[in-house]
Structure 1
Amino acid sequence: MRCSLASLGHSLGENICPEDAAEVLSSIMSQPVQAKQDGPNEQAQCMFLTYILTACLTAIARGEDELDLPQTKAELVAEVVAVLEQVVAEPTPGNILPCALVALHHLSKMKPHTPWELEDRFLSLAIHAVLRLEEPSYDYVGQSLYRSSQQTLEVLLLGLLDEDSSSDHLFAILDHLQTGLHSQEDRERVWASGKIATLLRRAALLQKYNIMGDALGRYVAELGVLLMDPKKQVGRHAREGIYRLYELALQQRGIDIREMAGLWIREPHLDWEMASYRNTLQMAKKLDAIFTPEQRLAFLKTVLRAVWDPDLQVSQPALFLLYAFLGLEKEVLGMDVQGTEAKIRRHLHRLRECGKQPTELRWLLAGKDDVLIDDLEEEEETEEEEGEAEE
């Protein structure tokens, strides 16, 4: 059963006097840094986080949005970050991580807003820590802690989105999740793509975002190359994420997405692979119709870098997305999956090994980023030289 973050917070903070919380926080935070890093065990760290939570819950119960403590909000967040730094590399689920995430969630509700440097740091730590967690097979307590960490992080991310609904903030959070999209682990790609889809769904619901910058093109490309991911759940998450980006873009133009033709095809007779190719083709045409020149260039840059990825699992879908975007789908779309894959590999070889760019691509890049391909080739050569040096 999915637990409630609010009920978890209240259960952690019950039976603790607010005055005691303030006193204990002052005592702990006055300790030398080394003593705090070496001394506290899991129980002491969880109690420290619970005192922070109690102070937040007390303020909320009073209808206040500021903490009545000697410490500033930034100082408390910094202390929680210090706790996260000690558990970030631990793959076994424990009590500290969900407690820290609950504390951060309630601190985010307090004024003033958390400085971006601190938020950036705790987002990086929290996402990395949860991404590394391994779900125990036969340990029911460990499984509960694993699910609790996953759920509390999701609520924390959604809460941060609600607190600051600027487009820069939205994409800054998504950037932290982006690492998981490039993982070789199926589990991590499923997790990251699912969280991105969830955040974009909330963003579309809030209807407060102006995504006219290049981030739209970049994230359509990031998710577009996942439409043909061998893990079907990743492809489904990518479809929802792109749909929500499309919805946000239409909102900027005062258009209801329900008035537009569907973004995805509905041909149940097609198998998963061919449906993915067709969906990629249709999506590329729909999004290209609303892209600004800046977004189009950001899209191209992102897709081209994915084409150059040494992992063919990424580069082949990226090349198909590139050709679909350029209107050259007939060159790479065969009658079946095997024929399409063969054509894609052939054109991938021409582009990567022979440097034969489609004329349409050269025209789009002309005067904007003429050295993009050269830069990518130089990066590839540098990596090869470094690999040879290590050998």
Structure 2
Amino acid sequence: MRHALVVPPSGADKGLGVTELPTVSWREEGEVRTAPWRSGSGLPPPKRVVIADDRMKADVAYHLACEGTAILWRGDFQNARQRLTALVRRIDAPRTGNKPSVAEANVSMPIASPLPLPADVFHRHRLIQSQRARTLGMLLLPFDADFRIPLRRAPDVQQACAEAYGTDALPFIASLRELLGIIGAHEWRTKGIEVSALGARIHPHYGVFAPIRSEYVDLVATAPLPPALLGTPSHGVAFDVGTGTGVLSALLAKRGIAHVVAAERDPRALACARDNIAALKLDAQVEVRQADLYPDGCAALVVCNPPWIPARPVSSLEHAVYDPESSMLRGFLNGLVAHLEPGGEGWLLLSDLAEHLGLRTRPELLALIDAAGLIVLDRIETRPHHPRAADVSDPLYAARQAEVTSLWRLRAR
């Protein structure tokens, strides 16, 4: 799973043109005004909008946001950031005694038993996070056609917005939280991420998930290459299905594989992978190819790192994390035999977090593998070492602390 998120695009920003963007309306100076609405997470435009400036108190902004009224800011930009920080403090205020936090109080779910199951905890946590995101997204900013923000002390975000939205040039409205995500994505892209196993930096683009969880990369770096691959001239052909930033394709090339096909369907990820492969000077070995899932042909090694959680994404932001009904996992497994050379292997990179959350069982996963005509040659495991695994305040701490990430070595039965 491409785990660290760099805000993904809304459907309207994938080359469909500005005319495809939804609009947001508000009343100002006695007239109704309308502008295109942009949301990287795919949230719909707010139905109620009020105008505000530096005179609006944080408590007032908080109550408006909680009731679903958006606030279009006309004051100082830095004061808008302070209001957003104040909203965060109020929403995330810790519980006292038996009283829930504000975020928890805004979500109600039936309690099936005195001790909720892990899946119940997971779904409640997701609802709380979704409600939190909607509330924090109620503080809006105006943007001019050249991506300038017409507010006092506003930063220069033209380059960051151009990377996120392309060259479409019409004034629009977006949330301050959206903008902060865009700025963060620009910083990730500029600085890049050091990948120890690669000995180089990977630069994720806006909308492409970044490989900051290094354990699955390390598994690919150390797993033994299949004999069918080593027995071919110059180490043959490998496929990287759903390449994302291209990090695994680059790693396979570094391991000496002569031809790696990095398959991806998302336009942003395709551009990102091409840029990274070119920067690493691996163009002669890695071919980035657009494909719905598998590229044409067969390979001695096929690698796939699908989303790890079989749950429905509630926004476009979550598509690289959540795989409804394990659809990508099923697609990879069911198509693997047809795309393997004789004696070839498929490497499935998968966390067992879903098992600890009660969303998928190990027997169910093994049944999917068996039904696809595959057998398990080996499973190489590692423990994650990201900060969340040690965060006892995380509602999903128990599952994260028990999580194991595996590289499943599969071949045709």
> The TM-score by the shorter chain falls in which range?
0.3 to 0.5
- Greater RCO structure (CA 8 Å; 6+ sep): 2
Q: Point out the structure with the larger helix share.
A: 1
Q: Point out the structure with the larger strand share.
A: 2
State the TM-score, normalized to the length of structure 1.
0.32
